[in-house]
Amino acid sequence: MTQAQITLDVQIACDNPQLPSVEQLQLWAETALLPYGKNFELTARIVEVAESQQLNHQYRGKDKPTNVLSFPFEVPEGVELDLLGDLIICANVVENEAIEQNKALNAHWAHMIIHGCLHLLGYDHISEEEAVEMETIEIKLMASLGFSNPYIDCTD
């Protein structure tokens, strides 16, 4: 049996010198998705505040930028595609959150990629039960990368 493959298309739509490398983004997406044993294709678009705010307003009714938006691809019935969806990540929001929460920037980026990938897979945190399930997976995946629990303010 062949190993599942994760194909990540990275789009940089911002001017920010502190972005993680494409290799790091790929590793974090693989960490989240390879345990499911399927091939997946996804896009991670790293954006400025204005684009994040516009998309968050348009799709979630919230007129402010956010750290990560997840847009799962709805595969039509009977069509075989590995396309999982798109992540939109606002670099400035991720950086500001890392500072506010006293977290290493790389650790927070890893968490945002993992968190977004889990949303693409259908996980959510609307109810307490869903939140516990999703956060448990995130904590385990972050630990596998050598990062601390992302839900505790600390420096990784």
Closest CA to 139 of 122, 126, 156: 156
Instruction: Report in angstroms the alpha-carbon separations of 95 from 72, 91, 92.
Output: 24, 6, 5
What pLDDT, in 10s, does the model give residues 102-145?
999 999 999 999 999 999 999 998 889 998 999 999 999 999 99
Is the pTM of the predicted complex or chain greater than 0.95?
A: no
What pLDDT, in 10s, does the model give residues 31-85?
999 999 999 999 999 999 999 999 999 999 999 999 999 999 988 888 888 999 9
What pLDDT, in 10s, does the model give residues 117-127?
999 999 998 88
Q: Report how far apart the first and last C-alpha atoms of the chain are (Å, whole number).
A: 36
Dihedral of the alpha carbons of 104, 85, 60, 99, in degrees to the nearest 10: 10
Q: What is the layout of strands, in order, in the sheet containing 40-47?
A: 6-13, 40-47, 83-90, 68-72
What pLDDT, in 10s, does the model give residues 11-38?
999 988 889 999 999 999 999 999 999 9
Options 3.40.50.1110, 3.40.50.920, 3.40.390.30, 3.40.50.450; CATH of 6-144? 3.40.390.30
Task: Kindly state the percentage of the chain with pLDDT values over 90.
Answer: 85
**Helix (H) or strand (E) segment spanning residue 23:** helix 22-33
Dist CA 34 CA 54 (whole Å): 32
Any idea where the domains of the chain sit in the sequence?
A: 6-144
Query: DSSP state, 22?
Result: H
